[in-house]
């Protein structure tokens, strides 16, 4: 009996010691209007103490907030149709990981998000690694938020992390999650000529993916190879289509 009481006592102490979920100091969440949903450029931006989105789907918000790949989410189709404008400020400078955890708290509070995860299961993925010749791009010489510009010469990205790049390819160019295993932790400036990818895209998705693999290897020194990873699936149990008032 004494042992049982001690276990319950320490369990109670543990629950009291848990830190509250990280949260923004102030935030507005609105359904995006046509100006946001039709705008170009990156739809989510982070700075040292803020996070903003323009016309970002609720599904994509969940992907960033829970750090999962598109294929790891199980939920209603309408998650992709609800688009949000978010302007949120943290109490002080924090890293990106904390900003995304704050976004998670915000989605739970304003859109009533409830989730659970399944038991880990093995699924096919693509592994992004460094090729034999090493990286063919440079670390950003300046500070700043991630910017993306696309033109006739391809795509230009500044202050991009390789994990961001892998997330951009997942479920879009490639039909499975792309997992960053390069070990590169910095932010980089890259230029990627996508002419061969665009030409291959006229044939089918497989041809486009193959062309992208070649482009990444030749232009960036990154290798994409098939593999398997044990991952959890995030199940969306409940979400509201309209955020609560700001």
Q: What is the pLDDT along the chain (246 residues), one digit of tens a residue?
A: 444 433 333 344 444 445 678 999 999 999 999 888 887 767 888 888 999 999 999 999 999 999 887 778 899 999 999 999 999 999 999 888 899 999 999 999 999 999 999 888 888 889 999 999 999 999 999 887 777 787 777 888 888 889 888 887 876 678 888 889 999 989 999 998 888 877 776 666 678 888 899 999 999 999 999 999 888 889 999 999 999 987
pTM: 0.63
* CA–CA gap between residue 194 and residue 161 (Å, rounded): 19
Q: Are residues 177 and 102 in the same domain?
A: no
Give, as one character, the DSSP assignment of residue 119: P
Q: Are residues 111 and 139 in the same domain?
A: no
Domain boundary among 117, 142, 161: 117
Predicted local confidence at residue 226, as pLDDT: 93
Helix (H) or strand (E) holding 227: strand 222-231
CA 122 vs CA 68, 74, 187, 217: distances in Å: 15, 16, 30, 27
* One-letter-per-residue 3-state SS of 4-65: HHHHHHHHHHHHHHCCCCCCCCEEEEEECCHHHHCCCCCCEEEECCEEEEEEEEHHHHHHHH
Residues 6+ apart with CB under 8 A from 111: 29, 58, 239, 240, 243, 244
Predicted local confidence at residue 9, as pLDDT: 37
Instruction: Tell me, yes or no, whether 62 lies in a domain.
Output: yes
Predicted local confidence at residue 124, as pLDDT: 87
Q: Are residues 104 and 196 in the same domain?
A: no
Strands 44-47 and 188-192, sheet pairing: unpaired
Instruction: Tell me, yes or no, whether 243 lies in a domain.
Output: no
Which residues on neighbouring strands pair with residue 154, listed in sequence order?
Answer: 151
Q: Are residues 99 and 200 in the same domain?
A: no
Instruction: Tell me, yes or no, whether 200 lies in a domain.
Output: yes
Q: Are residues 80 and 180 in the same domain?
A: no
* CA–CA gap between residue 89 and residue 57 (Å, rounded): 20
Predicted local confidence at residue 231, as pLDDT: 80
Predicted local confidence at residue 122, as pLDDT: 87
Q: Are residues 214 and 152 in the same domain?
A: yes
Count of the separate structural domains present in the chain: 2
* Residue ranges making up the domain that contains 154: 121-230
Measuring CA to CA, which residue among 178, 193, 183 is closest to residue 134?
Answer: 183
Instruction: Tell me, yes or no, whether 240 lies in a domain.
Output: no
């Amino acid at each position: 009996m004494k042992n049982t009481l001690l276990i319950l006592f320490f369990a109670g102490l543990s629950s009291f010691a848990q830190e509250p979920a990280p949260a923004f100091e102030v935030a507005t969440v609105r359904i995006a209007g046509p100006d946001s949903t039709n705008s170009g450029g990156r739809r989510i931006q982070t700075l040292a103490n803020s996070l903003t989105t323009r016309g970002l789907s609720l599904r994509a918000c969940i992907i960033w907030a829970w750090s999962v790949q598109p294929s790891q989410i199980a939920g209603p189709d309408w998650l992709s149709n609800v688009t949000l404008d978010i302007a949120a400020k943290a109490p002080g400078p924090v890293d990106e990981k904390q900003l995304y955890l704050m976004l998670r708290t915000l989605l739970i509070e304003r859109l009533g998000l409830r989730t659970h995860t399944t038991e880990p299961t093995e699924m096919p993925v693509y592994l992004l690694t460094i090729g034999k010749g090493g990286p063919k791009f440079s670390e950003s010489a300046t500070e700043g938020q991630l910017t993306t510009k696309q033109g006739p010469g391809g795509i230009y990205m500044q202050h991009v992390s390789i994990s961001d790049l892998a997330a951009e390819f997942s479920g879009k160019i490639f039909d499975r999650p792309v997992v960053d295993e390069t070990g590169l932790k910095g932010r980089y400036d890259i230029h990627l000529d996508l002419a061969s990818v665009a030409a291959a895209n006229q044939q089918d998705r497989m041809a486009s993916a193959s062309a992208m693999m070649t482009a990444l290897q030749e232009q960036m020194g990154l290798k994409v190879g098939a593999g398997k990873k044990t991952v959890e699936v995030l199940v969306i149990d409940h979400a509201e289509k309209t955020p609560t008032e700001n």
